[in-house]
A and B are shown apart, each in its own frame.
Chain A
Amino acid sequence: MSAGQVEQDAPMSEPQAATLAGDESVLVSGAKAGDYAAFEELVNRYEKKIYRLGMNITGNPEDAEDVLQDTFLKAFEHLPEFREDSRFYTWIVRIAVNEALMKLRKRRSSREVPFEETQDQEGEVRVRDYADWKPNPEQTLAREEMEQILRNAIQSLPPGFRTVFYLRDVEGLDTHETAQLLNLSAGAVKARLFRARLRLREELSKVLRRG
């Protein structure tokens, strides 16, 4: 990890976030003025998260790489238009989500539920499995095994569900931001999130349940 490169998965305290935002705005100003090293530092900060976003939404390594490259190439080209009324990261997440959704639409196969047509309002939500889990599964299973279980479970969700789950629960976007990005109503986001959480839990329960 280079100097100033930050892996921002852990929650930040307010002073940390303020320092980072100030630091980031210096980098954005530098990048806008043509300092490529400043732009590269912004890329270093967020490339892992953008790749992860691409993998979670598209479920395909080639598409995720395209999402990663296209996101930062577009960010580079359109940087003069970035008005800095949001964080740089929020801006590139918007670009990345749009790129990932375009990939999904292109690759849509007959066995996947199309993103726009995911049924999210109709139908009763029924819990079919009330199983409790083994304690601390992430400590009792090998890391690779646990990661494979999590990857399989999220990829088993329809794209419209896993995208909402990823943006809300992993990226931490709020309902309104997610609805705007995906062109959905707030109610649809909430309904999809509810169903996605339950379905993921049931997928994981198949492996992690007690006894």
Chain B
Amino acid sequence: MTLLNCKKAVNQLSSYLEGELDEELKQTLEIHLGKCHHCHAVFDTTRKTIELYCDGKLFPLPDAVRGRLHEALRRRAQRV
């Protein structure tokens, strides 16, 4: 099993998070992450970044915008 350096490890970040790595490369990467605090921090905080954006609370729909949407749709429907 070949060892990874930090640059090669980071290049696998997306594929690792997607679960797309083959088992051997995944194990090699995890060995590196177990030893390298820097890469571990990058992987961990990138995963956290994605989680924060998936939380779904950004950009709530304002009531006024919703009201104008439904008004526009009702006007359009009445023309049919």
Contact = CB atoms under 8 A, between A and B. Distances in A.
B58 A73 contact: no
Given A132-B44, A197-B49, A201-B49, 16 more contacts: A9-B55, A9-B56, A39-B77, A47-B69, A52-B61, A56-B59, A69-B69, A72-B73, A76-B77, A127-B42, A154-B58, A194-B14, A197-B13, A198-B42, A198-B46, A204-B52
Interface string B1-44: 00000100011011001000000000000000000011101101
Interface string A36-50: 100110010001100
Interface in B48-75: 48-50, 52-61, 65-66, 68-70, 72-74
Contacts of B76: 73, 76-77
Contact of A130 (B42, B57, B60, B72): B42
Contact of B59 (A51, A127, A130, A197): A51
B14 A193 contact: yes
B45 A132 contact: yes
10 contacts: A68-B69, A69-B72, A76-B73, A132-B41, A143-B57, A147-B58, A150-B58, A151-B58, A169-B50, A204-B49
A205 to B, nearest CB: 7
Nearest to A136: B48
A201 B46 contact: yes
A104 interface: no
B5 to A, nearest CB: 12
Interface residues of B, number: 38
Interface in A55-95: 55-56, 61, 64-65, 68-69, 72-73, 76-77
A131 interface: yes
A6 B14 CA distance: 31
Q: Is the interface of B mostly helix, strand, loop or mixed?
A: helix
B72 A133 contact: no
Contacts of B58: 52, 55-56, 147, 150-151, 154
A135 B4 CA distance: 28
Contacts of A61: 65
Contact of B70 (A9, A43, A65): A43
Given A138-B52, A169-B53, A43 B73 contact: yes
Interface in A141-194: 143, 146-147, 150-151, 154, 165-166, 169-170, 190, 193-194
Between B37, B61, B76, the greatest number of chain A beta carbons within 10 A of the residue's beta carbon is seen for B61
Contacts of A201: 42, 45-46, 49
B50 A47 contact: no
Closest 5 A-B residue pairs measured CB to CB?
A9-B56, A130-B38, A55-B59, A132-B41, A51-B61
Contacts of A34: 80
